[in-house]
Amino acid sequence: MPTSTPTQATDFSRRDVLRAGAGAALGAAALGSGVRPALAASDPDEFEAWLADVDNYDGIADERGAAEVTVAVGAPGNDGDFAFEPAAVRVDPGTTVVWEWTGKGGVHNVLDADDAYESEMLTDAGATFERAFESEGVSLYSCLPHQSMGMKGAVLVGGVAAGDAPPEVDYGDWFDGVENFAGTVDRTGRKLVRVAVGAAGNGGHFAFEPAAVRVDPGATVVWEWTSDGDAHSIAAADGSYDADLVDSEGATYALQFDGVGVSKYTCPSHAAQAMRGAVVVGDPMESVVDVPLSVTIVGGGLLAAALSPLGLAALLKLRETEN
């Protein structure tokens, strides 16, 4: 990967300076929020090639469900503060992406690979540039002065395929009537993932949020009670694990998932309100496969002490099906 100091990195041609300066006002004003972007073709190979030299790219951050998403400009990465963070983000159609400058790494801008939008060259911490993405597709962009260093990013709108992202899981009718379900939220790359219990949804506070989450094998999922919507509990669809009925705000229940598969669960007390969820571990590759589950309770221990006012902790091992 090429290395450069901020001073060297800003040594671009006068034509590019004029293009960035003269066109920036139009980019920031006319294209900043309401105009539909021209999205690059949804080509997984093109997507991977675009991000191949971006050292802070570690997967697509799934921010579907959010009306506005912030991307840091000048985040740590690429041998300095020459990164967008997250480098790749997936949003719903209609979402506004706000790029916010950190003030680090010198002068940066946001430039669409197809010239559909362009910000000014900015350096001040807290400066912003925003764009509303209306149509499904993929938008590739970079920081013009630091593109050669790997300061590039991508916005994926809707469920378009890109890179090596696994396909959406077919849950059958499990999420029928679950109004807060909007697809599987990608939380891969994290060792600990939180799910709210008693989030807004299904006619009250009768939802798990996110309703469906994808994690890496070995990740720990922590369900945390909001105390809204009466007392809630958690029960696996196949009976392999369950948490007590609780109404205390901040109470938690933790499970560590291993192997590959899909675990569906519900709040039995609010089955009529469609309070259901699922944890996808890795990429099951095909339609939903209910993996045989065995539960090992780990008494006390660091996990229980660190995570749980409720005092509940367990290890859930998802074993691959043996033919």
Binding-site positions read 108, 143, 146, 151
- Concatenated DSSP letters for 29-75? HTSSSSSPP-PBP--HHHHHHHTTT-TT--S-EE-TT-SEEEEEEEE
CB 266 within 8 A of CB 235: yes
Number of neighbouring beta carbons within 10 Å of residue 164: 11
Q: Are 72 and 126 in contact (CB under 8 A)?
A: no
Q: Which phi-psi region, left, alpha or beta, contains residue 17 (left: φ > 0; alpha: ψ -120 to 50)?
A: alpha
Burial (CB count <10 Å: 0-12, 13-18, 19+), residue 74: buried
Give the H or E element holding residue 208.
Answer: strand 207-209
Is the separation of the CB atoms in 99 and 73 below 8 Å?
yes
What would the two tokens of residue 304 be? 């229980």
Omega prior to 284 cis, within 30 of 0: no
Cα–Cα–Cα angle for 55, 70, 97, nearest 5°? Answer: 105
25, burial (CB in 10 Å: exposed 0-12, middle 13-18, buried 19+): exposed
Annotated binding site for Cu cation: 108, 143, 146, 151
Phi, psi angles (nearest 5°) of residue 24 = -70, -40
Identify whether the C-beta of residue 251 lies closer than 8 Å to the C-beta of residue 236: no
CA–CA separation, 52 vs 320, rounded Å?
Answer: 32
Closest by CA to 194, choosing from 204, 208, 205, 175, is 208
